[in-house]
Amino acid sequence: MKTVGEKVECPHSLVPMRKAFNGTFIVAGGYDKEDGIKAIAEDRADLVAYGRWFLANPDLPKRFALNAPLNKYNRQTFYIPDPVVGYTDYPFLE
């Protein structure tokens, strides 16, 4: 396992669980678009969750489809009581 910035690379760590589980297998945690596509293509997952990226990019499917740049998320605004800052102030594509 190696760390690249915030990202920890260990793409095959869930393979034993994937093989043992018979239901829909969802992975999450640090996946970007390319990692998610690769996980599905290599049958390491059925679905990929993009929590932080979806939070910062409320139009994430559109951005992925257009290969548009992503808004960076701000961890300091996660789990704060402010009803406006963090969860609702990220811009959509124009």
Cα–Cα dist 57/38, whole Å? 21
Rounded mean pLDDT, 59-74 = 96
Kind and range of the H or E run holding 66: helix 60-66
Asked whether the whole model's pTM tops 0.85, one would answer: no
* pLDDT tens column, 5-46: 556 666 568 889 999 999 999 999 889 999 999 999 999 999
Q: Is the pLDDT of residue 4 over 50?
A: no
CA distance 83 to 89: 10
Distance CA 19, CA 33 (A): 23
* Residue 46: CB atoms within 10 Å: 14
User: Would you say residue 85 has pLDDT above 90?
Assistant: no
48 confidence band (pLDDT: 50, 70, 90): very high
Mean pLDDT of 56-80: 94
The 8-class DSSP code of residue 76 comes to G
